[in-house]
Structure formats: structure tokens, C-alpha cells
A = this chain, B = another copy of it.
Amino acid sequence: MLPADATLRPIARELYASVRDLPIISPHGHVPPVWLADDVPFADPTSLLITPDHYVNRMLHSHGVSLADLGVAQADFTPEQSRNAFRILCSHWSDYRGTPVKFWLESELADIFGIDLAPSADTADQIYDSIAAALVTPAFKPRALFERFKISFLATTDDPCDNLEHHAKLAADASWHGTVVPTFRPDKYLEPARPDWIELVDNLGAVSGIATDTYAGWVAAMENRRAFFKAHGAVSTDHSHRDVRAERLPDAEAERLYGLARAASITVDQADALRRHLVFEQARMAADDGLVMTIHPAVYRNHHTPTFERFGADVGCDIPLSVEFARATQPMLEAFGTAKNFQVVFFTMDETTYSRELAPLAGFYPSVFVGAPWWFIDSPEAMARFRASVTEAAGFSKTSGFIDDTRAFLSIPARHDLARRIDSGYLARLVGEHRLTMDEALDVARDLVVGCPTRAFKL
């Protein structure tokens, strides 16, 4: 994963060596905190590596494999089915050529399990058995792996109404020395067009103890839950609406639309206007309480309705959409872009926005950071394009640092390792072309791993 070029390779190697063993900072991801709180051993190779990982599943599905055969949404998946799912993966291994999944999983096999076999129909059972044997040992329990992976900071993603009991348990556990914090993810509560919105907001009221039958109540309840999250260590809030626009309404209009939404009589256009206002309010709260916003808009979720109905969300049929940031974020940045406490990280899957909008925004607003390549594009070529597109107008220091954004706990080291390699390769080229000295490149390489996430997420 380092450049093949004979001039650049030794430079990249030296840069990579300097960051390879640095601890992992993971300020955004989807690891369930209960794993670490309760330190339960992982059940079996398939439920660990295949069933919950939409990166793995979607490729198999695209080659005609049913998600049911991979355990997705299967309540009673038998050991034999689990073994069979692993066979399916291994016999399709050649379909992963050129994808990052191949690197991640091969790294996991080699570096975590010490398995040196190439996955194939022939080796599937042997690999399965080796992993299964490891998973029952203490060294492969979540806490032991957390330590082995050298994760110095891990953020989970949590519902505003979550009681954060697992985070509390970890905090209260004197034998636990890791840092695991929640992230406030309020999307659902900001979408008045959702069929379950009224119920959700009722629950928000119940959990916060603040009635949410008025807009003012919603605001107070949100502030209450944000404070609760902050008290449990949260550093950021996470937002993913299809539309990125955030725009203030007059208070009276907000109150009026909120009333319509509560009465289930809001129109689609009104619901859009209210959502944009509620996102704007989140920005206003961020400027107050200092929680960093991460925004990653423009995904067509559950693109294939029959799959969603049978298998649920997050199973690999979300499709990125084109997006526009400059106009859409203008009202928010006009209001808070230079506010002292405000900070926002924009992530995208639409690479066209890198050089055109995101780098120019981050290269002007002190509050704006450009998020590292994310979902779908957290891969070698895309990461290289990111640096080549963003750096010239924003520099290195206004980028977020690598974000793994994963629920595949075991892939965390491989994902960060890949990012470090690609960044080392990019920096090596700048050194090779005399655009940076080696000292400067070494300094940047370290800053990308340590300084950038620390600044972007106020760690």
C-alpha cells in the first residue's frame, strides 16, 4: 500500500515507520459500547466479521448471494449456517480484489489471528475454525483487543434518549483505563416528516423530563440531553440528513410548523423548512456548549425497498448522492462560522466537493474542518484523491484526521493503518518532488494522526 516507485518507496517507508505504532484516535464510529462494558466474548466468526459488516455483505449481494444466507436479520442462525456463510465469503474472495475489504480482512487474519491462509473455498473451514478457536480465549475478548489495538480514544454513536449506561459502567470501573465516549446523534428527532417522529419526540420529553409539546420544549429537551451526553464525555454530535441545508426560521414560524408536525398535519415542504431550522438550532447549541458537529449529508438510504422491508436498515443498500455545501451551509456559517466555540466537520461521499467547496470553506472559516474520506471512499485511491484535492486550498491542518466510522471492531487497526500508509505515500511524493522537506513531512505525518483529530474534535 506504499508507492511502488523506487525513489518514493524508501521515503514512504520512513514516514510510515514514524507513525505506524502511534495509538489510535477514533473520534467517530459505531462500536456498541456494551461490548466493552460487559466484555463479552465474540460469538463466532460470521457474526463478528460478516453479518454486521455492510461492506462485506453488499459485495456478496451484488454477486447474487442472499443477505439471509449471511445471517442478516436472521433470528435463529445455526452454527452450520454460520459456517456456510463463511464459506460463501471465502469462495467469493476474488470478487473483493481491488477493494479495501480485501486489505482489511487479510490484515485482520494475519495481524490479529495470525492466520496466513488466502481465503478460498478450500481454506474456508480451516480459517473459520482457527478464528473460532481464538475467539474463546481471553486474549480475544473486547477489552483485551481494545488494549492490544492501542486505542487511546473511542467514540460510539448513540441515540439522544440513550441512558448511556454502558458508558457509565465503564467510567465507574476502576479496572478499566480506556477512554470511550458517546456521540449525540439526533437525526431522527429533527425529521418531522418521519412517521414515528411524534412518538420519538414524546420519548425525548419523557427521558429529559421536559415536555416537548411545544417547540420551546423541544429546544430545552435537546439542550438537556446534549448536556447529559457532554457530562458523559461526548465531544461531538453527528448529523446525516439527505439535505445539508440549515436555515433559521423566525421563532413564531418555527413554533407554528412544530405545532403542525405535532398534529401530524405538516406538509413535505414545511417539514423540510422545519428540519432545516432544527439543524440550524443544533448549530446554535453547538456554539453554546462547544460540542463539535460532524455532518455527512446526501445518502439515499434503503435504496431497494424490498431489501429494507426484509432485512432492515444499514445492510448495504444506501447510495450516495451529489451534494452542494457552499450555498446550503451559508446561513449556518454566516451565523456561527467565526464563533469562538463553534466547530464543524463536513464529510462527504461526493468527491467533487473537495476542491470546489470543502477546501475553500475550511481554508477560510476557522470553525470548518474537512472530514477524511468516509464510507464508500475510505479506500486507497480515494484517500489519495482526497489529499490531492483538499490540501492545496486548505492545507493539511484543517482536515479531520482519519475516521474509521465502523461497527467492525476488528477492522479498526487495519483501517487506521491503511490511512497512515496512504498519507505516507502522498507525503513521500511531496518530498520526492521537493515540495516538502523530509522534516516537514515527518511533522505532517504525525500531525495527521495526532494533531488533526485532537484539534478537529477538541480532544
**A residues adjacent to B (C-beta < 8 A):** 1-8, 58-59, 61-64, 94-100, 102-103, 300, 303-307, 316-322, 324, 326-327, 330, 333-334, 337-338, 349-352, 355-357, 359-366, 368, 376-377, 379-382, 385, 387-389, 391-398, 429-430, 432-436, 440, 443-444
Contacts and interface: CB of A to CB of B under 8 A. Distances in A.
11 contacts: A2-B433, A62-B364, A62-B365, A62-B368, A62-B394, A99-B391, A303-B361, A321-B327, A352-B356, A359-B376, A385-B388
Contact of A392 (B8, B366, B381): B381
B7 A6 contact: yes
Nearest to A326: B319
Given A63-B366, A306-B338, A352-B352, 19 more contacts: A1-B434, A4-B432, A62-B363, A62-B366, A62-B394, A95-B397, A97-B444, A98-B391, A100-B392, A300-B330, A304-B338, A305-B334, A306-B334, A319-B364, A349-B356, A355-B382, A360-B376, A377-B393, A382-B389
Contacts of A388: 381, 385
A303 B364 contact: yes
A356 B435 contact: no
Contact of A393 (B99, B327, B366): B99
A96 to B, nearest CB: 6
A100 B433 CA distance: 13
A399 to B, nearest CB: 10
B320 A300 contact: no
B381 A389 contact: yes
Nearest to A428: B4
B380 A435 contact: yes
Nearest to A4: B432
B333 A326 contact: no
A227 B387 CA distance: 47
Contacts of A3: 433
A379 to B, nearest CB: 4
A428 to B, nearest CB: 8
A432 to B, nearest CB: 3
Nearest to A383: B392
Contacts of A364: 58, 61-62, 303-304, 316-317, 319
Contact of A99 (B95, B316, B395): B395
A361 B324 contact: no
A450 B414 CA distance: 33
A356 B432 CA distance: 31
Contact of A303 (B304, B320, B333, B395): B333
A59 B363 contact: yes
A248 to B, nearest CB: 14
A242 to B, nearest CB: 10
Given A4-B429, A94-B440, A300 B327 contact: yes
A285 to B, nearest CB: 20
Nearest to A362: B62
A356 B303 CA distance: 14
Lowest 10 CB-CB distances: which A-B pairs, in order?
A: A4-B432, A379-B392, A98-B391, A381-B388, A319-B326, A64-B366, A58-B364, A4-B7, A320-B356, A319-B360
A306 B385 CA distance: 33
A395 B430 contact: no
Contacts of A356: 320-322, 349-352
A361 B319 CA distance: 7
In this complex, the member of A3, A97, A307, A338 whose beta carbon has the largest number of chain B beta carbons within 10 angstroms is A97
A395 B56 CA distance: 12
Contacts of A337: 304
A357 B62 contact: no
A3 B433 CA distance: 6
A300 B3 CA distance: 38
A247 to B, nearest CB: 14
Contacts of A96: 395
Contacts of A359: 376
